[in-house]
C-alpha cells in the first residue's frame, strides 16, 4: 500500500458559496476582503476531514489582476491575510500538515495565450514568490495550461529552497493535451530542466485526468491530480473579466462519484490527490475514508 498526500478541495469556489455574495471578477479575493474569517474556516474544515495540505487563497492575488480595479497596492496585505489563515487553521487542527503557497495563472485561467512569455511571467511572479517563500512549506503552481506558462512559473520559484509542485490543466475531452492544445508529453523537457518535486493535473474534468497521468507518470517524478466539478468551461467564462456564475456545478459528481475517480488515479500510481473547484469537504472526507479502507497511509 502507498503513502498518499491528501490535498484539500476547492478554496475559491467554497469561499464564494459560503459568502452568499454576488460573484465578481476578483473571485475569492473579494470574499477574502469582505469576509476574512471565512478563509480560515474553510481551511479548518478540510483539515478536520483528513486533508494534510492547506492551499492558500492566493491563486488570484496577483498584481496584474488587482491593478484592473485599483487594488495593486494590496498585494502584500492580501497575501499575508491568506497565508496567515492557512497557518492558523493548521495550528487549530493540531499543528500537523503543510501549507502550500498557491500561484495561479497570470491574466486569466484556461487562456494561456493571454499570459506573457515565460521570461516576463517569471519577473511578474517574483512578487508573490518573495511574499510567500518564508511563510509556506511548498509552492503549488496551479492551472498552468501551456508549456510556456509552466516554464514561466517554474523559473520564478527556482532556487527558493522550497519544494515545488507543478499542476497543469488539460483539455476536458482529451487528457493527453494541455488546454493550449499542446501534448502533455511536451512538458517532459521542462520537467527535466526544472525538476519540480511533483507534477499534478488540476482543474480538469475527472474523466480526462487518467489519460494525462499515463503520460506524466513517464516523467520520473511523483505525480497526482485534483479535478474539478464543473459541468463545462463555458464560453462566458472565457471572455474578458469573467465571473464564476458563468460556470455550473455538475450534478453527477458527489463525494462517492468523485472518490471513485480519485481511487482510480491512486491505482495508476498517484501519490498526491485532492479536489479543485466544486469539490468540497464532503468529497475530501470520502476520499480519506476510501484511502484508509484500501490500506493506504495518508501523509
Where residue 238 falls (left for φ over 0; alpha for ψ -120 to 50; beta otherwise) is alpha
Grid cell digits, residue 201? 493535473
Q: Helix (H, G, I), strand (E, B), or coil: what is residue 44? A: helix
Residue 229 burial by CB count (10 A; 0-12/13-18/19+): exposed, middle or buried? buried
Q: Which residues touch 90 (CB under 8 Å, ≥6 apart)? A: 43, 47, 54, 96, 97, 99
d(CA 176, CA 26): 31
In order, the DSSP letters of 105-152 are -SS-TT-GGGSPPHHHHHHHHHHHHHHHTTT-SEEEEEEE-SHHHHHH
Annotated ligand binding at 277? The verdict is yes
Give the C-alpha separation, 242 to 250, whole Å: 19
Residue 203, marked binder:
yes
- The rounded distance, in Å, linking the Cα atoms of 279 and 275 is 5
- Distance in angstroms (rounded) separating the CA atoms of residues 228 and 12: 12
- Is 276 annotated to bind a ligand? Reply is yes
Whole-angstrom CA distances from 113 to 109, 118, 150, 180, 238 are 10, 12, 12, 8, 12
Q: Is 185 helix (H, G, I), strand (E, B) or coil?
A: helix
Spell out the residues 6+ positions from residue 62 whose beta carbon is closer than 8 angstroms to its own. 75, 103, 104, 106, 124, 128
Supply the angle between the helices 75-92 and 118-132 in degrees, to the nearest 10.
50
Residues making up the annotated binding site for Zn(2+) are 203, 276-277
Residues making up the annotated binding site are 203, 276-277
Amino acid at each position: 500500500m502507498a503513502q498518499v498526500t491528501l490535498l484539500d478541495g476547492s478554496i475559491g469556489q467554497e469561499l464564494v458559496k459560503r459568502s452568499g455574495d454576488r460573484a465578481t471578477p476578483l473571485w475569492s479575493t473579494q470574499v477574502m476582503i469582505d469576509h476574512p474569517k471565512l478563509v480560515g474556516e474553510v481551511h479548518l474544515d478540510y483539515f478536520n476531514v483528513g486533508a494534510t495540505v492547506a492551499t492558500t487563497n492566493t491563486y488570484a492575488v496577483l498584481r496584474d489582476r488587482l491593478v484592473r480595479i485599483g487594488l495593486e497596492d494590496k498585494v502584500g496585505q492580501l497575501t499575508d491575510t491568506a497565508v496567515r489563515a492557512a497557518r492558523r487553521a493548521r495550528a487549530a487542527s493540531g499543528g500537523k500538515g503543510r501549507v502550500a503557497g498557491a500561484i495561479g495563472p497570470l491574466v486569466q485561467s484556461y487562456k494561456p495565450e493571454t499570459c506573457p512569455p515565460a521570461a516576463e511571467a517569471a519577473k511578474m511572479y517574483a512578487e508573490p514568490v518573495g511574499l510567500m517563500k518564508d511563510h509556506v512549506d511548498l509552492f503549488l503552481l496551479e492551472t498552468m495550461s501551456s508549456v510556456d506558462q509552466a516554464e514561466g512559473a517554474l523559473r520564478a520559484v527556482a532556487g527558493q529552497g522550497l519544494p515545488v509542485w507543478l499542476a497543469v490543466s488539460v483539455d476536458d475531452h482529451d487528457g493527453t493535451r494541455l488546454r493550449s492544445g499542446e501534448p502533455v508529453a511536451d512538458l517532459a523537457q521542462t520537467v527535466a530542466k526544472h525538476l519540480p518535486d511533483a507534477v499534478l493535473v488540476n482543474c480538469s474534468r475527472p474523466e480526462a485526468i487518467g489519460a494525462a497521468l499515463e503520460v506524466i507518470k513517464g516523467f520520473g517524478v511523483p505525480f497526482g491530480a485534483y479535478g474539478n466539478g464543473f459541468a463545462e468551461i463555458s464560453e462566458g467564462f472565457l471572455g474578458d473579466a469573467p465571473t464564476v456564475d458563468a460556470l455550473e456545478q455538475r450534478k453527477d459528481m458527489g463525494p462517492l462519484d468523485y472518490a471513485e475517480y480519485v481511487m482510480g488515479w491512486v491505482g495508476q500510481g498517484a501519490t498526491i490527490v485532492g479536489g479543485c473547484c466544486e469539490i468540497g469537504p464532503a468529497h475530501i472526507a470520502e476520499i480519506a475514508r476510501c484511502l484508509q479502507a484500501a490500506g493506504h497511509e495518508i501523509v
